[in-house]
Amino acid sequence: DQQVKQNSPSLSVQEGRISILNCDYTNSMFDYFLWYKKYPAEGPTFLISISSIKDKNEDGRFTVFLNKSAKHLSLHIVPSQPGDSAVYFCAATAVRAGSYQLTFGKGTKLSVIP
Partner 1 sequence: DSGVTQTPKHLITATGQRVTLRCSPRSGDLSVYWYQQSLDQGLQFLIQYYNGEERAKGNILERFSAQQFPDLHSELNLSSLELGDSALYFCASSVAAKGLNEQFFGPGTRLTVL
Interacting residue ranges for partner 1, rule: CB under 8 A: 4, 32, 34, 36, 41-46, 49, 51, 89, 93, 95, 99-107
With a CB cutoff of 8 Å and minimum separation 6, the contacts of 38 are 44, 45, 86, 87, 88, 89, 107
Residue 3 or 111: the one with the smaller Cβ distance to partner 1 is 3
For the chain, where are the alpha helices, taking DSSP H only? none
Residue 41 or 70: the one with the smaller Cβ distance to partner 1 is 41
Minimum CB–partner distance for residue 46 and partner 1 (Å)? 5
Residue 44 or 77: the one with the smaller Cβ distance to partner 1 is 44
Minimum CB–partner distance for residue 18 and partner 1 (Å)? 24
CA atoms within 13 A on the CB side of 48: 18
Pairwise CA distance, residues 96 & 19, whole Å? 31
Minimum CB–partner distance for residue 65 and partner 1 (Å)? 19
